[in-house]
Chains A and B, each alone.
Chain A
Amino acid sequence: MLFFGKNNKTPLGIYIHVPFCRSKCAYCDFYSVTDKDPRAMDAYTEAVCSHIKEAGSLAPNYLVDTVYFGGGTPSFFGAEGMAQILSVIRKHFDVARTAEITFEANPDSVSDRLLRRLRSEGFTRVSLGIQCDNDEILKKIGRPHSYDQAVKAVQRIRKAGFKNLSVDLMYGLPSQDLESWQATVENVITLNPDHISCYGLKLEEGTPMHQYREYYTLADDDMQADMYLSAIEILRKHGFRQYEISNFCRKGQVSRHNLKYWTGGEYLGFGPDASSDFAGRRFSIVRDLRAYIDGIRTGGQVLREVQEIPNRERAAEFLMMRLRLVSGLDPEIYQQKFMLDFSPMEKVLSRCKDQGLAQKTYDGRWHLTPEGFLVSNTILSDLLIAQEKSQTITKR
């Protein structure tokens, strides 16, 4: 049993969206600007800080156990701003001493100075975007660094004292074949990270890569599937346990922050385009830096979408998110939590089991197999159709 702080407060994750990058990568559709004006960064820092201050008073009964600076490129934004924001979080929220505090970094913007500063501020975890070990491919997808820089970055991060390092990799990149991807995974394992995320390339609308898609040689779905399955196999051999569709770790060093998304935990997001799920409502902030800063300054509106999620939809989210996890879901918990009958879903999952896409553990939990993860959208849409029919359980 986890013990959340002395007063039994509700755990809370805090996400800070840092929307600054040196340059835009060709595949990326996250919100960020490549504005190098220090005044924009200062104005952003100021806005996020006052936003946090305002929100802190609304969450007195929460204990912050994870903080995550994502982006964008937080390391490019710099240590000063992050340190300032973290100190404001600590001031206005109750942050656990054992909190996981992560920042995302790119190999071209992690100086020893930055790392030392952030370590001393209490950051515990770094998520480094390596993506690939082939400089030509890195160039093709618009990454502003080489693999050599990534190797050096890992050394610096360790030297600065970070015990928890995660690296991001991508498969299905232009001109990447199965063998070169397998070699990439093997290579990156030798850097000895604690956590690896492997993402299949997806062409997102509005990105340069989507626009110029016919000029790239890209893996088809079958190839991506083979790449995915072989990565799972290689990582397993080297002691990396898969715990989510795209995430692997050693010795239980899961991303505690990200786990909140998959297990229905509460989190508050700050900064443009950040999302929150807090006190029963899901809301997100405008996807525009200027509008965010102005909104905060003038006490105006910065939210773009607020949703109250009804019970049955929460139940659907439960299915959707839990089945991303290797630990899967417990039908008993589903029924107790949402008072809905699980049997329609049981039928769908049994069929998936026959097709080798799902498994049921001895204690009754359902989880997808790697092949099942690969077609999880199809399985989930079947489950959601079934879920519409699930009856409300009435207490006797």
Chain B
Amino acid sequence: MTDLSKIRNFSIIAHIDHGKSTLADRLLEQCNAVDNRSNAQQILDSMELEQERGITIKATAAQLNYTASDGEVYALNLIDTPGHVDFNYEVSRSLAACEGALLVVDASQGVEAQTLANTYLAIDAGLEVLPVINKIDLPSARPQEVKAEVEDIIGIPAEDSPEISAKNGINIPAVLEMIVKEVPPPKGDRDAPLQALIFDSQYDPYRGVIVYTRVKEGTVRAGTDIKMMATGAVYKVVEVGTMSPGGLVPREALGAGEVGYITASIKSVADTQVGDTITTVEKGAAAPLPGYRPVQPMVYSGIYPADGAKYQDLREALEKLQLNDASLSYEPESSIALGFGFRCGFLGLLHMEIIQERLEREYNLDLITTAPNVVYRITKNDGTVLMVDNPLDYPDPMDIQLAEEPFVKISLFAPQEYVGNIMDLATSRRGEFKNMDYLDANRVELHYEMPLNEIIYDFFDALKSRTRGYGSLDYELLGYRPSKLVKLDILLNGDIVDALSFILFAENAYPRARKICEKLKENIPRAQFEIPVQAAIGGKIIARETIKALRKDVLAKCYGGDITRKKKLLEKQKEGKKRMRTFGTVSVPSEAFMAVLKLDED
């Protein structure tokens, strides 16, 4: 076990794209933890999708052995955190495992929404926050101004902050020295009852779940009988050790102050929830560490295989993804329209997109997804309270006494010139203006309260396009508030297509309904008969379009040379039809479902 005084536990926080992962790589290289030629890509972001999107999805950790200028060797534990609001809880648990945080700020862009949000999380966790000014090699870099911004806006000293370029390896040793000097060494009693914080876990097909943990109090070693305090699961430890970028390094024991891993033949990450406390079965801790929260999906969506025969494949893919991602929840659901699929719960929209993309890419599945929705709280006339995460379960309007939807507090950051655009956007999404702060002469922060439902789909994209990419946002849940909600049903040829039903704010229903009908009309091919497309609330039709019957689809000439061509044409038409979903007598291509999801794009 490393002496407490020689341990530094820190994480790196930043706004997206400010260079967090690049700095992590440089630190690792500097400590010779990795060969800098072996992997040009960012080392901690190992998932293909992470590297492509430039974001960290799962937290990871690595131990660096650094020989400081005082001649001593320090164990620096870097805990990388996810970089998106969807994963705020995970970020907070990673931070709880540290004593300090490097705050990376882009020398040309300055303080952004997530800079602030993450800094507050770090300060709340009692961390020493150490600013680092990155990208000083950019021609537009303005390190002195950005330092002043950090001091003014965040209120932490930044005058002596290292000015670095992670990309070009400039001034990296200064960062390491700062970590040794400024991050407080951990505290803890290695003889006390065990309290180890789980900040992440990962499924390994050979060892079972690998639990990443920060030991707060006590000591854990192979053979110890442990208990997860929230889930109550009990296991015998197989191995403990530390994480080096090259892999896991087994140790004899992990003591208070140390960051490492535990394996115990655990079969499912569901037993090792982020934020839970590990203690010993015998003489265990009296209370868990504070801050644990069970996983709470915020956004739900139906996921169906485009080809109904791929249902089993989808199930297996979801099972595999869930092994590694306890925040993904799913349960089988069936739709009259789409057949068998799954109702999936996600932490947020990014999480949903990531899961969908991984299913499509890593498991080669074609998916149809239904419109995402939040969880509504419905109080019925008889007093029972329902949490509705699926439009199909929405009760009859006659039975509803009170309908509530989740609201969030949203902070929007942008250069001042876009304030008008942002206000228009927020107002159109039922945002209630709270206040506006000038961060500096040029940049403002606007605060709104709005329904979560209004931001789950494309709010971020809309914000980006209205601010030429300069806008950023952060949000936190406020709780449930009463709202006027209705369930909108879509009918094709008189039959309700259940997969197209969704819940929305009553006042938005008419324009929405009209737009959906128009979109469906555009995207559903004409059939041999006329197809009415209707939108209804309860039994009342509020919008209608008609897809006229197809009258002409014929090859007028078909002689010797045309036969092969005609065959190819029909083959193509046939394959197109096979990809369509048939509802009663109406065939609907999957593009129609997508089009309905993308209503707000024009």
Contact = CB atoms under 8 A, between A and B. Distances in A.
Contact of A377 (B529, B553, B557): B553
A224 B570 CA distance: 21
B573 A377 contact: yes
A8 interface: no
Contact of B554 (A200, A267, A313, A381): A200
A110 interface: no
Contact of A317 (B556, B563, B577): B563
B571 interface: yes
B550 A355 contact: no
A384 B563 contact: no
A326 B554 CA distance: 15
B564 A282 contact: yes
A375 interface: yes
Given A261-B560, A274-B561, A317-B563, A385 B577 contact: yes
B481 interface: no
Interface residues of A, number: 47
B199 to A, nearest CB: 53
A25 interface: no
Given A377-B573, A384-B570, A269 B560 contact: yes
B558 A381 contact: no
Contacts of A374: 551-554
Contact of B559 (A258, A307, A317, A357): A258
Contacts of A375: 528, 550-554
A324 B558 contact: yes
Contact of B560 (A275, A305, A384): A275
A247 B580 CA distance: 34
A224 B552 contact: yes
Nearest to A226: B551
Contacts of B540: none
Contacts of A15: 560
Nearest to A385: B574
A284 B556 contact: no
Interface in A253-277: 258, 261-262, 267, 269, 273-277
B555 interface: yes
B560 A381 contact: no
A25 to B, nearest CB: 14
Contacts of A277: 560, 563
B560 A221 contact: no
Interface string A198-236: 011010000000000000000001101100100000000
A381 B573 contact: yes
A317 B566 CA distance: 10
B569 interface: yes
Nearest to A379: B528
A377 B528 contact: no
From DSSP, what is the main secondary structure of chain B's interface residues? loop
A321 B563 contact: yes
Contacts of B570: 320, 377, 380-381, 384
A382 interface: yes
Contacts of A245: 554, 556, 558
A102 interface: no
A275 B561 contact: yes
A246 interface: yes
A376 B553 contact: yes
B521 to A, nearest CB: 16
A262 B555 CA distance: 13
Interface in B333-367: none
A225 B550 CA distance: 10
B560 A378 contact: no
Contacts of A305: 564
B574 A282 contact: no
Contact of A381 (B527, B548, B561, B577): B577
B552 A221 contact: yes
Contacts of A70: 559
A93 interface: no
A269 B559 CA distance: 12
B577 A382 contact: yes
Interface in B522-562: 527-529, 548, 550-561
Given A273-B561, A275-B564, A222 B552 contact: yes
Contacts of A373: 554
B567 interface: yes
A316 B567 contact: yes
A246 B569 CA distance: 19
Contacts of B577: 381-382, 385
A225 B563 contact: no
Nearest to A324: B558
B578 interface: yes
B277 to A, nearest CB: 58
B576 to A, nearest CB: 8
A307 B552 contact: no
A317 to B, nearest CB: 7
A357 B552 CA distance: 12
A140 to B, nearest CB: 19
B219 to A, nearest CB: 67
A378 B552 CA distance: 9
Contact of A357 (B528, B548, B560): B528
Nearest to B554: A376
Contacts of B556: 199-200, 202, 245-246
A200 B551 CA distance: 13
Nearest to B557: A199
Contacts of A380: 570
Nearest to A375: B553
Nearest to A31: B561
B194 to A, nearest CB: 64
B558 A200 contact: no
Interface in A357-394: 357, 373-382, 384-385
B560 A222 contact: no
B555 A377 contact: yes
Given A321-B558, A377-B573, A385-B578, 6 more contacts: A267-B560, A275-B563, A276-B560, A357-B528, A375-B551, A379-B528
12 contacts: A199-B556, A221-B550, A282-B563, A307-B564, A374-B552, A375-B551, A375-B552, A376-B553, A377-B573, A378-B550, A378-B553, A381-B573
Query: What 7 pairs between A and B have smallest CB-CB spacing?
Result: A225-B551, A221-B552, A381-B573, A275-B561, A275-B560, A377-B553, A381-B574
